[in-house]
Amino acid sequence: MAEDKLTSRSENYSDWYNQVVLRADLADYAPVRGCMVVKPYGWALWENIQRELDRRFKETGHVNAAFPLLIPKSFFEKEKEHVEGFAPELAVVTIGGGEELEEPLIIRPTSETIIGYMYSKWIKSYRDLPVLINQWANVVRWEMRTRLFLRTLEFYWQEGHTAHATAEEAQEETLRMLDVYADFAINEAAVPVIKGRKSETEKFAGAINTYSIEAMMGDTKALQAGTSHYLGQNFAKAFDIKYLDQNNTLQYCWTTSWGLSTRFIGAIIMTHGDDQGLILPPRLAPYQIVIVPIYKNDQERSVVMEYIEKVQSQLKGFRYRLDDRSELTPGFKFNEWELKGVPLRLEIGPKDVEKHAIMAARRDIPGKAGKISLSIENLDLKIENLLNEIQQSLLEKATEFRDQNIHFADSYDELKQIVENGWAEAWWCGSAECEAKIKEETKATTRCMPLDEKIRGKGKCVYCGAEAEKRIYFSKAY
C-alpha cells in the first residue's frame, strides 16, 4: 500500500488527491464508469459524519423517513426550472420484470418531486404543519467528468424537505439548516466554511434562493460543501401542496430543501491533508488513536503487550486501534497510519514501559516537534486534551490558510490575478452577463454572497463598473 511515495501536493494536486483516496482505502473505482465503492475506512468516516449531522437534525425537530428511489418521469416535468436543470443528468429505467414500462422511471437525482407528491397527500390542515423530514439516501446524476467523492454518478447524502405555513417560517428554516451545516463543518470537521447566498445562475433548479457553505481546499480552489434552498411556493404549486388555514381557507405551503453529501469527505481530505496523506479531525476520525507496539524480540514483545493492556483500560472512551500485526515493522505502520490520517499515534516500547509512559505523536505536527512523552497517570485526560488541541489546531490552521488566500479585488485586473491562486471578493452588479464573462475569461465562478452582517454598502461592479450592492466571492471550484 505505502510502497511508493505519494505525489506531493505542489507537484500535482489532483494526482495527490486521487492517490490519497485510493491508498488510504477510503474508496475505489466501481466497474460502472463514474461510480465508486466506499470502502470500510471511508464508510466509517461517513458514518461519523452522519451521526453528528443526524444528532443536529433531531435536535432541531426533524425526523427521518425513506422515499422511493424510482420516480415517474412525468413528475420532473411539473416544475419548469427543475426539469431544465436535471433533464441532462437523468438515469432512466425503461424495463422492469422483463417488460418495457409504460412510463419510464427516473432514479432520483434529488427528491423534491416525489416528496412534494407525498406531501400533497399528507398535508391537509395548518395543524399538520410544519412537516420536517430528512432522508439519508443514495442519488444518481449522470455526470460526465467524475472524481471519487467530489462528483460521482451515484453518491450518498441526506436531503431534508420541509413544508411550512408561511414564507417567513420557511426562510427561517432555510437559514437554520445552513447554520447547522456550518456548525457541523466548523466544529466537527474543522473545515472553516463561509456561509452565503448563491447567484441566480448558480442556484438550485427550482429554488427561489440557494444558500451554501463554501470551503477552501489546499490548492485554494473552492468546494461547495452543503446547500440549503428556499423553494417558496414553486414546488407547492407544481405538486398541489395545500393546507386549510385557521380561517378555513386553502393556502399553498412554503417549502425548503437542504443537502450535504459524501462530497464532504473530499472537503475534509483537501482541507487538512498534507504530503504524507490524510489528516482527519479527531471528532470524525474512524480511529482517533492508533497504538504501535515496538519491540526487538519475543521477550520485549510480551512485556510491551502486557503494558499495552493496561494502557488500553484508559482508552475506553476513544475510538482506537491496536496495530499488533507482527509481520510489519513499526516504521511501515507509522507511514501507513500517517497516510490514513489517524490524529494521534501512541508508540510503546520497552523504554516507555520502564518510564511508566507512552510516546504520543501528533499527526498534524510532523517529526519530533509533534512528539511528547506522557506518563500513564490520568492518561485518558491527557489524551482527551491532546485530541482537543489537534482539533482546534486543524481549524486554526485551515482558517488562517483561507484568510490568507482571500483578497479584495478593486479592479478586474486584480481579480484575474487573485483567482489564479485564491478567492477574490468583489463588488458585483448582479447581472448574469458579467458573471458569465468572468467565468469565460478566468474560469472563476461566483461562489456566494457572504451573509456576514459587516459587509454592507455600495461599490462598482468589478466587471462592468455599474453600481453594485452585492459583494461576492469569485474562484475556481471543484
Interface residues toward its own copies, by CB under 8 A:
28, 30-32, 35-40, 42-44, 46-47, 63-72, 75, 87-98, 104-105, 107, 114, 117-118, 121-122, 127, 133, 137-138, 140, 142, 144, 153-154, 156, 327
Q: Residue 424: in which H helix or E strand, if any?
A: strand 423-428
User: What values do phi and psi take at 413, rounded to 5?
Assistant: -60, -45
CB 71 within 8 A of CB 105: yes
Of 362, 360, 334, the closest CA to residue 2 belongs to 334
Report, in Å, the least distance between residue 44 CB and its own copies: 7
Nearer to its own copies, 40 or 331 (CB): 40
Nearest to 345 by CA among 325, 327, 331: 331
Q: What cell does 162 get?
A: 420541509
Pick the closer one to its own copies by CB: 98 or 367.
Answer: 98
CB of 273 to its own copies, least distance (A): 22
Helices (H), 100-194: 112-122, 167-187
What's the closest the beta carbon of residue 242 comes to its own copies, in angstroms?
18
Measured in residues, the chain has a length of: 478
CA distance linking residue 23 with residue 415, whole number of Å: 37
Q: How far is the CB of 77 from its own copies (least distance, A)?
A: 14
User: What DSSP designation does 224 have?
Assistant: E
Closest CA to 198 of 263, 131, 258: 258
Residue 101 or 186 having the CB closest to its own copies = 101
Find the shortest distance in angstroms from Cβ 53 to its own copies.
Answer: 14
SS3 261: strand
* Minimum distance from residue 173 beta carbon to its own copies (Å): 17
Nearest to 159 by CA among 124, 135, 132, 131: 135
Q: To the nearest whole angstrom, how small is the minimum distance from the Cβ of residue 292 to its own copies?
A: 18
The alpha-carbon radius of gyration of the chain (Å, integer) is 25
Shorter beta-carbon distance to its own copies: residue 71 or 387: 71
Q: Which is nearer to its own copies, 129 or 217 (CB)?
A: 129
Output 35 or 186, the one with its CB closest to its own copies: 35
Nearer Cβ to its own copies (93/305): 93
